[in-house]
Amino acid sequence: MKAYVGTDSESRAGIARKRAPTVRKPSSTWLLLTLMAVAPAFAAPPLPIAATDVAALVAAPAKGSKVLALWSLDCAYCEENLAALRAYQRDHHDVELVYVATDPMTQGEALEARLKRAKLEDVPSRAYTETTPDRLNFMIDPSWGGETPRTLVIHADGTRKALSGALTPARIKQLL
């Protein structure tokens, strides 16, 4: 069915013309909710990790690999490693990445600021709550002496690989 457009004289005479349907603009509430839904889910301070949380942290993923990037505020290579691992993860969606700071939760603001400054705050992060970090270090990786950076890869089949020191793309590929 064609819409009758009419002439200028008909519109002045009050003859109604069919109007095109109007498009409603989204409400500001709808826009706000949409933006909240697509915002990075982990742009928040690190979550505390205690001895009781370690078993879940080091559990094998259902599929793919889980990478624990262990780091600290006083580490020279840690930021580069975190960025390299994040870049790898962007191209490999089957990799779950978690940053684990060996610094205490009392340093939470500094940890969060460091990750934001490096534009790495979109990855879940944890920080130690225990007053004895060596205990958590051993629980996470019994072969680890506490040096940072440390990368622990846990595959879905339960196998593990670990590496201390600076990462290169070749070393990341070797780990994963």
- 80: domain CATH number is 3.40.30.10
Do 57 and 100 lie in one domain? The reply is yes
Comparing C-alpha atoms, which of 64, 61, 135, 74 is closest to residue 103? 74
Q: Which residues, 6+ apart, have CB-to-CB distance to 84 below 8 Å?
A: 167, 168, 169, 172
Q: At residue 20, does pLDDT exceed 80? A: no
Question: According to the model, what pLDDT value does residue 131 have?
Answer: 76
Do 78 and 30 lie in one domain? The reply is no
Do 33 and 119 lie in one domain? The reply is no
In a domain, 1, yes or no: no
pTM over 0.85: no
Residues 34-62: what's their mean pLDDT? 76
> What span, in angstroms and rounded, lies between the C-alpha atoms of 148 and 45?
20
Question: According to the model, what pLDDT value does residue 2 have?
Answer: 53
Do 14 and 64 lie in one domain? The reply is no
The total domain count for the chain is 2
pLDDT in tens, 51-86: 999 999 999 999 999 999 999 999 988 999 999 999
Give the range of the structural domain holding residue 136, as residue numbers without chain letter: 47-175
In a domain, 59, yes or no: yes
